[in-house]
């Protein structure tokens, strides 16, 4: 049965910390494409306080989440239990893109450490936290993180990542502004 929470409490923190992946969904204000992205790698998500979370935004094939958050700030994060007791946690909120020129970038980077392929952070100020049963979510076994993204970013190096960013991450598929900074 669904339950709404006024904050992220200890049991929710524990559940979130046990998950090997989560999902992020955003959409432009009008028309355009809805974006749903799986996010992995342990230790790339943090509960900042009872009403704020953040995660590392790593280089990838597109820039939809960043573009949508910059346009309207709407975002929802979802964690599912793929093992153990069934559970789903959804966190709705107002997102904020923290690029390298932002005053909080270095503070967040210190919290997460040096991760190859870091593009920005997404910080979310939560407006709703809820759970649902998760009875329909299948059981899967977590085998570990893939290393291809980190290896790709390390191989490219800082200069080539900036070039990639200008080529692939400046504009979303719907023509919205993507990421702007060029420092790593």
Q: Delimit the domains of the chain by residue range.
A: 3-136+145-168
Judge contact between 122 and 93, C-beta under 8 A.
no
Which of 166 and 122 is assigned the larger pLDDT?
Answer: 122
Mean pLDDT, all residues of the chain: 93
Which CATH fold would you assign to the domain 3-136+145-168? Pnp Oxidase; Chain A (2.30.110)
DSSP bridge partners of 88: 80, 132
Question: DSSP state, 67?
Answer: H
Give pTM, 2 decimals: 0.94
Mean pLDDT of 106-135: 95
Residue 42 has pLDDT above 90, yes or no: no
> Residues 62-112: pLDDT tens digits?
899 999 999 999 999 999 999 999 999 999 999 999 999 999 999 999 999
Residue 113 CA from chain centroid, whole number: 16
Q: Residue 20 and residue 145: Cα distance in Å, rounded?
A: 8
Q: Residue 115 and residue 113: Cα distance in Å, rounded?
A: 6
Question: For residue 89, what are the CA distances in angstroms to 12, 121, 182?
Answer: 8, 21, 34
């Amino acid at each position: 049965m669904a339950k709404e929470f006024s904050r992220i409490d200890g049991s929710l923190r524990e559940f979130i910390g046990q998950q090997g992946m989560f999902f992020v969904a955003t959409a432009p204000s009008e028309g355009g494409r809805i974006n749903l992205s799986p996010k992995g790698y342990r230790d790339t998500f943090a509960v900042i306080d009872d009403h704020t979370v953040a995660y590392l935004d790593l280089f990838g094939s597109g820039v939809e989440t960043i573009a949508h958050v910059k346009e309207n700030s709407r975002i929802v994060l979802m964690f599912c239990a793929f093992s153990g007791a069934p559970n789903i946690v959804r966190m709705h909120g107002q997102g904020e893109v923290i690029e390298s020129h932002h005053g909080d970038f270095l503070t967040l980077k210190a919290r997460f450490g040096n991760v190859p392929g870091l593009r920005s952070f997404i910080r979310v100020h939560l407006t709703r936290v809820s759970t649902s049963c998760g009875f329909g979510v299948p059981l899967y076994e977590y085998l570990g993180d893939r290393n291809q993204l980190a290896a790709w970013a390390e191989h490219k190096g800082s200069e080539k990542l900036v070039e990639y960013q200008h080529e692939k991450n400046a504009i979303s598929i719907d023509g919205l502004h993507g990421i702007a900074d060029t420092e790593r």
